[in-house]
Amino acid sequence: MPARIHDWDLRNATVHLAGKPPLRDGVVLVRAGKIAWVGPASSAPKPDAGARQLDLRGKTVLPGFQDAHLHPFIGAIDLEECRLSSGDDPDACRMKIRAYAASHPEKPFIRGSGWGYGAFPSPGPRREMLDEIVSDRPVFLKANDGHSAWANSAALRLAEIDQNTISPGGGVIERDPETGFPTGILHEWPVMKLVTDHFPKPGREEMLAAGRLFLAQAARFGITAIHDAQGKDPHPDLYFALEEAAELTLRVTASRRCHEDKGEEQLDEIRHVTAKFRSPLFRFTSAKVFIDGVTEARTAFLLEPYSDRPDIYGEPMWNPDHLSLMIHALGRINIPIHVHAVGDAGVRFALDAIERSNALGVRRNLRHQITHADLIDRVDMPRFAALGVIANLQPAWFYKDSYFETVTLPSLGLERTKRLYSLASLLRAGAKVACSSDWPFGGDTITFNPLVSIRAAVLRRGPEQPCGNELGMQESVPLATMLDLHTLGSAYANFCEGETGSIAEGKLADLAVVDRDLFSEPVEEIHQAKVLLTLLGGRPIWRDPGL
């Protein structure tokens, strides 16, 4: 039975107020699912008789965290499959894959994810290694960023991928330089789908069960709103089913994929789902567009060639004129684009297309977003603010991961790696910034815990890394700013800043209580903090038994 909406009296709290110093010895009163009063204890009203009173003894009260770009059902299903880690060396991968295959003899296909590029010689692991472990069933294992896959020979045969197969546009089949035969590494979804289209899809009950696992963890992380970055079928129906059963414990916005190989006929489908799937807790807000891939696979679109492959720049997945016209057509039905762009040329490509669409007469306040934007040319920094484009970033990646030295640095070179993840520069240029996790994709840190993300952005190093190993410390930002970007900043990207994202009278009581005063503890330890209480409109969706 879901918890009821309660009135709350939260006292003796450290209250995070967006854009202001923290309020200590603060009081937050919740009435009928909304914030009724916030201020110092010295002027607080007397508690109502029916309110649930908590003396927080200095613990922090925050607006509920919001993740502005992730893949909930994809990640939840991944948890049930063969799980590798970016830190796994080849022997560890062998052990995990063999153990999974042995414990699931009934599965006709083996799917999994999580391996890291840095654990294997470039351009990645080979099919022969998988063949030694599993030869009788197709095996398909996504990399930790979701943009490459490692397949065995059975999977390649299933997809009819051989030395004569031409890579589809936007995809790359890695080949042995001597034989020309595929190595087993497939880059980007146009080619990865050649395999996955032959795999059975997870069933409805399996996906609902996985979704419940995700929701439970999100509540424990203090997350009260998310953006599903693709919103493909059957995910909208699943959200509706969970909401109807009073099990949806998040406010969800979503993007619908917009394809380069389709024309304006796809606008009818986007318009249809936008109108059909709209409820108190779920709605579509944008169209998802892929411009490029990722630097690790050499598929990100760069202004200058890859340092270790001077013949490769990457390439855009759209024709520039087609994209501009599509943005304009979407704008006519008030739908912005939610863009995947990683390389500096990819970011410029997206900004140029938005600028051209504006010139065609689209209103300027649509809230287009460019997500990832790992590398941005300095010339393009002020264009985000000038064009009203939100930079949607993933701060949990802002450090030198395990394949920085072996993959990132060789591919980009020293000068470009110094410009990775330019958060402080974007803020100085006046850009609107939202934060997200892109879970279940990432580097060494694959998590959607906002506190892990915040720590990485402030310190610019990973949880286990010592001082002196920072990545671009000049792009570090203060703790309070990062809290704002994970709450009010993401609420703006999720089109709900008027109701959520900050603690103010009249807003919905989407709140999180953390077990310490975040502003007086070392930032190095912030990832160890625990959320003790999460409220969604006054309804407790997580409460630690000790609170």
For residue 16, pLDDT beyond 90? yes
Q: pLDDT digits over 77-104, tens only?
A: 888 899 998 888 999 999 999 999 999 9
pLDDT given at position 2: 59
Beta bridge partners of 11: 55
> Which tokens sit at 405?
């030295």
Longest dimension (CA), the chain: 80
Q: Which residue from 17, 68, 72 is spatially nearest to 434, judged by alpha carbons? A: 68
Q: What is the mean pLDDT of the chain?
A: 94
Whether residue 84 contacts residue 115, with contact meaning beta carbons closer than 8 Å, is answered with yes
- Which three-class secondary structure state does DSSP give residue 100? helix
pLDDT above 70 covers what percent of the chain?
A: 99
Confidence of residue 185 (pLDDT cuts 50, 70, 90): very high
User: Which whole number is the average pLDDT over 335-349?
Assistant: 98
- Pick the more confident residue, 369 or 230: 369
pLDDT given at position 120: 87
Spell out the residues 6+ positions from residue 150 whose beta carbon is closer than 8 angstroms to its own.
115, 124, 125, 127, 130, 139, 140, 141, 143, 184, 185
For residue 1, pLDDT beyond 50? no
CA–CA gap between residue 518 and residue 22 (Å, rounded):
10
> How would you classify the pairing of strands 531-536 and 539-543?
antiparallel
Whether residue 133 contacts residue 98, with contact meaning beta carbons closer than 8 Å, is answered with yes
Looking from the CA of 156 toward its CB, the CA atoms found within 13 Å total 25
Whether the pTM exceeds 0.85: the reply is yes
pLDDT above 90 covers what percent of the chain?
A: 84
Q: pLDDT digits over 454-494, tens only?
A: 999 999 999 889 899 999 999 999 999 999 999 999 999 99
Spell out the residues 6+ positions from residue 503 whose beta carbon is closer than 8 angstroms to its own.
15, 16, 17, 18, 28, 35, 38, 61, 62, 63, 511
For residue 425, pLDDT beyond 60? yes
Confidence of residue 387 (pLDDT cuts 50, 70, 90): very high
Confidence of residue 128 (pLDDT cuts 50, 70, 90): very high
Sheet bearing 369-372, strands edge to edge: 65-70, 223-228, 251-257, 282-290, 337-341, 369-372, 390-393, 433-435
Ordered domains of the chain (ranges, CATH): 8-62+505-543 (2.30.40.10), 72-196 (3.10.310.70)
CA–CA gap between residue 72 and residue 228 (Å, rounded):
7
Confidence of residue 105 (pLDDT cuts 50, 70, 90): very high
Spell out the residues 6+ positions from residue 200 whose beta carbon is closer than 8 angstroms to its own.
108, 109
Confidence of residue 231 (pLDDT cuts 50, 70, 90): very high
pLDDT given at position 80: 83
pLDDT given at position 415: 96
pLDDT given at position 515: 97
